[in-house]
Amino acid sequence: MSNKADVVIVGGGVIGCATAYYLSKKGKSVIVLEGSENIGNGGSSRNGGGVRQSGRDPRELPLAMYGIEKLWPHLSEELGVDCEYHKEGNLRLGKTKKHLDILQGLTDRAVACGLDVRMVDAKEVKEINPFLSDEVIGASWCPTDGHANPMVTTLAYYRKARMQGVRFLTGEKVISLKKVKGRVKKVITENNVYEGDYVLVAAGYESREILATVGVDVPMHQELLECLVTEAEPHMFNQMLGTAEADFYGHQTEHGSFVFGGSSGLELNNKDIGVKNSPSNTSITAPCICRGIMKYFPSLEDAKIVRTWAGYVDTSQDGVPVLGEVDEVPGLIIACAFTGHGFGIAPAVGEQLAMLITDGTTAIDLSPLRYDRFKAKI
């Protein structure tokens, strides 16, 4: 098979797979190179499944809103696999006056961007979700937010893209990019050389090392976050949940299990197993998440935890992704530093990047997410 394509995508996560799908739908030939042995091995399979707009920065909110309006509602049908998408709202919960102030600030900023989100009082919160503890005194409520199954969605994009002729290689770790006549052209792996008219780097935190080989730096760091899942429980509610203090976030899946994510607060200096790109759980975080959940949902205290896992978030310097073309390296497209928000906006990002590569323009203005926005403080 040829090692040349219209587009070479570095990274077989949800962003890479979604972009490959939309590009192949537009008739482009695509090669996807995944360094690990599994498709969707990073944050794509390790996140909490949120598909939200509330709480998002105004710079990335248009992408979130676009995806929820145009792409998520028919995604399962389009990909031929049930992605378990539920658009039944997001509650961000508060227990103190200080929490409510935080939520009010988030709500005001989102309303200014045209999002349907509002504050609800203790009584209305309980009407939306009767299982909440009486300690909850208010919340922000965004009825068009929701959640989906991130593992299945990633693999569904992969499956459909593969059916449309996209070439996928796993265990193919990219070492460097190389320019030819001023334009990015070659993608060099441990074993092979690939060539594309365009190269998309969507490799999470590992994008940084790869981009450095053509002189581009994206200021970001890795943060370890952990999740847990319970056994299947009787159906309780369909909303996505978060809290003002970020104690935990999560939802009940279609399967009945509850997926919750959170942190211990010690992540910056956690010791993991010390193997690069092999995130592992610490002994203190899952118990901490459990205590957070039980404060909001006392009735879940008997739910059994069956599994825990960890994943790295590629956190950008200013909390929003880096997306789009690079002036100094024609042909290069960046999509990384998603800061834990990548899954929900993945369909919109994939579709817009495919449009950028094919038509040279996008429906959503990506300029606030440019790679060269980072400036010194003075």
Partner 1 sequence: MGKVIDRNIDIGPFVPAPDDDMLICRCEEVTKGEIRKAVHDGMWTMTEIRRYLRSGMGLCQGQTCSRLVKGIVARELGVSPADLEPATARSPMRPIEMKIFGCEEVDA
Binding site for partner 1 (CB under 8 A): 1, 37-41, 45, 151-152, 155, 158-159, 162, 167-172, 189, 191-192, 230-232, 255, 281, 284, 286-291, 293-294, 300-309
Q: Which is nearer to partner 1, 84 or 318 (CB)?
A: 84
Farthest CA pair distance, the chain: 66
Show Cβ contacts of residue 181 under 8 Å, excluding neighbours closer than 6 positions.
none
Q: Which is nearer to partner 1, 144 or 189 (CB)?
A: 189
Q: Which is nearer to partner 1, 267 or 318 (CB)?
A: 267
The distance of closest approach from Cβ of residue 194 to partner 1 in the complex, given in angstroms and rounded to an integer, is 12
CA distances from 209 to 174, 204, 219, 224, 306 (A): 10, 10, 11, 19, 36
Query: Kindly report the CA angle at 43 between 39 and 48, in degrees rounded to 5?
Result: 120
Both tokens of residue 8?
A: 């070479």
Q: Which is nearer to partner 1, 21 or 66 (CB)?
A: 21
Cα 168 versus chain centre, distance: 21
What sign does the CA torsion over 88, 225, 39, 360 have?
positive
Q: Which is nearer to partner 1, 56 or 167 (CB)?
A: 167
The distance of closest approach from Cβ of residue 40 to partner 1 in the complex, given in angstroms and rounded to an integer, is 7
Q: What are phi and psi of 117, to 5 degrees?
A: -145, 145
The distance of closest approach from Cβ of residue 81 to partner 1 in the complex, given in angstroms and rounded to an integer, is 8
The distance of closest approach from Cβ of residue 223 to partner 1 in the complex, given in angstroms and rounded to an integer, is 20
The distance of closest approach from Cβ of residue 23 to partner 1 in the complex, given in angstroms and rounded to an integer, is 16
The distance of closest approach from Cβ of residue 106 to partner 1 in the complex, given in angstroms and rounded to an integer, is 28
Task: Count Cβ neighbours within 10 Å for each residue of 28-42 and write b for 16 or more, e otherwise.
Answer: bbbbbbbbbeebbbb
Q: Which is nearer to partner 1, 141 or 249 (CB)?
A: 249
The distance of closest approach from Cβ of residue 53 to partner 1 in the complex, given in angstroms and rounded to an integer, is 26
Bridge partners for 251 per DSSP: 259
Nearest-Å Rg of the Cα atoms of the chain is 20
Q: Please tell me whether residue 289 adopts helix, strand or coil conformation.
A: helix
CA distances from 363 to 112, 144, 203, 342 (A): 20, 21, 24, 19
